[in-house]
């Protein structure tokens, strides 16, 4: 795939070097187009060494080949990281005063901009209007991360990690292919199992115990994994959204059905990755009535005896560890990702409970979020915290669940053996 990597003049330009390497190591041909200001942060020799191609920034370079038009016409993907407020303003206005902006005007392939700037600049009405204009025209503008900026400033405006930008960009190519997996994607050849939705534990033929999960997050992860080229099996409990095209669906509504499906589709089948995004009930009725339970005329209520459901995630980890001990290099070790839908309480915060669950479950990555009425469950937006056993913690959001899912996949990629 022919990738054009645009770099505009911000301090985050140095991070684009890692992004360039991600593309080249995946076998893509990368042409770097820095602006003149970007070259004051990272020089042309760096970009030429990483990409293997000469670097130019103005329209008067290599005039006979008409490269100010040709580069955009031949590109399969254009990514700009960082995209400064100035660069986005010029692109929104249709300006073409250097090689990068002329390329953006001629490109008909997917275009991805990764903004980076101070918080006040990102939130300025002029920038917001430019972002809205670009998105209306089909340009994919990634939401910036929140965190430490230049100096002592902290807030939204930080350039997302190169792995996140890389995954987002490849996802755009996958969407352009009408749902077909990207053959050159970094997950090509990998088998991925993802659970989604909320389990329902039957009480009688009519009633059940359930939860508020809509399945949006698990479905988004399935879509992101598919766009990265993986062969995806989606284990669906009760969901409110359709499964993505190109994904194999297995219905598993109760905790018992889901446990059997995980064992069969992940452990027995030798899959490379398990993502347990489903909200599995902790308890189920100890007795299930064969007929509808009737109201009793002299009874003031109904007493239910509940029993614990199986710990599906812990069981999958235990079997994985037994079959693929840590340090055994004879076969790649499957990756397991857990989700923690938490609420804070007197015993600790959401992150406190999530950290404890990470240590208890033994997963490779834990995705934690705060849930509740009108918070995460059934909503389009979310904030997730990505926790790793080495103490790493990355917050993504607030953002939509598709972008959060791509961030999860980006965090998983380095974990594959």
Annotated ligand binding at 304? The verdict is no
Q: How far apart are CA 18 and CA 416, in angstroms?
A: 19
Contact status, residue 265 vs residue 271, Cβ threshold 8 Å = yes
The crossing angle, in degrees rounded to 10, of helices 216-227 and 162-176 is 80
Annotated ligand binding at 361? The verdict is yes
Q: How distant, in Å, are the alpha carbons of 34, 75, 92, 99, 157 from that of 95?
A: 16, 19, 8, 11, 24
For residue 54 the two structure tokens come to 């000469």
For residue 403 the two structure tokens come to 């972008």
Q: How far apart are CA 160 and CA 14, in angstroms?
A: 13
| Residues designated catalytic | 211
Annotated ligand binding at 339? The verdict is yes
Listing DSSP states for 153-183 in one string gives: -EEEEEPPPHHHHHHHHHHHHHHHTTT---T
Contact status, residue 249 vs residue 166, Cβ threshold 8 Å = no
Annotated ligand binding at 292? The verdict is yes
The single residue listed with the structure tokens 């109904």 is 302
Annotated ligand binding at 294? The verdict is no
Cα angle value 34/37/40 (rounded, 5°): 95
Annotated binding residues, written as ranges, equal 282, 292, 310-313, 339, 357, 361
Residue numbers in the known binding site for CTP are 282, 292, 310-313, 339, 357, 361
């Amino acid at each position: 795939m022919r990738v054009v990597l645009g770099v505009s003049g911000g301090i985050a330009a140095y991070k684009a070097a890692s992004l360039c390497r991600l593309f080249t190591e995946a076998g893509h041909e990368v042409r770097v187009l820095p602006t003149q200001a970007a070259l004051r942060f990272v020089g042309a020799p760096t970009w030429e060494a990483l990409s293997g191609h000469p670097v130019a920034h103005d329209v008067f370079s290599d005039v006979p080949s008409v490269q100010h038009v040709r580069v955009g016409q031949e590109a399969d993907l254009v990514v700009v990281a960082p995209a400064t407020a100035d660069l986005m303003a010029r692109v929104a206005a249709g300006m073409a005063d250097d090689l990068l902006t002329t390329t953006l005007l001629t490109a008909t392939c997917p275009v991805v901009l990764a903004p980076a700037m101070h918080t006040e600049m990102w939130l300025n009405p002029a920038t917001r209007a430019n972002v809205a204009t670009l998105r209306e025209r089909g340009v994919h503008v990634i939401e910036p991360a929140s965190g430490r900026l230049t100096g002592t400033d902290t807030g939204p405006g930080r350039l997302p990690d190169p792995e996140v930008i890389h995954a987002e960009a490849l996802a755009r190519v996958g969407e352009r292919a009408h749902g077909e997996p990207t053959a050159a994607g970094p997950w090509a050849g990998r088998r991925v199992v993802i659970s989604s939705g909320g389990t329902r534990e039957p009480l009688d033929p009519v009633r059940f115990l359930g939860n508020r999960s809509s399945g949006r997050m698990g479905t988004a992860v399935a879509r992101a994994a598919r766009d990265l080229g993986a062969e995806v099996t989606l284990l669906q409990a009760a969901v409110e959204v359709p499964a993505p095209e190109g994904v194999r669906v297995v219905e598993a509504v109760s905790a018992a059905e889901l446990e059997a499906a995980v064992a069969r589709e992940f452990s027995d089948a030798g899959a490379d990755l398990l993502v347990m995004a489903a909200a599995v009930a902790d308890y189920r009725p100890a007795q299930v009535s064969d007929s509808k339970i009737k109201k009793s005329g002299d009874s003031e209520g109904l007493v239910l005896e509940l029993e614990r459901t199986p710990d599906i995630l812990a069981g999958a980890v235990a079997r994985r560890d037994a079959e693929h001990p840590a340090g055994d290099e004879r076969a790649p070790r499957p990756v397991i990702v857990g989700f923690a839908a938490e609420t804070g309480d007197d015993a600790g915060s959401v992150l406190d409970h999530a950290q404890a669950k990470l240590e208890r479950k033994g997963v490779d990555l834990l995705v934690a979020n705060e849930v509740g009425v009108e918070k995460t469950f059934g909503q389009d937006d979310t904030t997730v915290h990505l926790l790793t056993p080495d103490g790493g913690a990355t917050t993504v959001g607030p953002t939509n669940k598709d972008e959060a899912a791509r961030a999860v996949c980006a965090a998983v990629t380095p974990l594959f053996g």
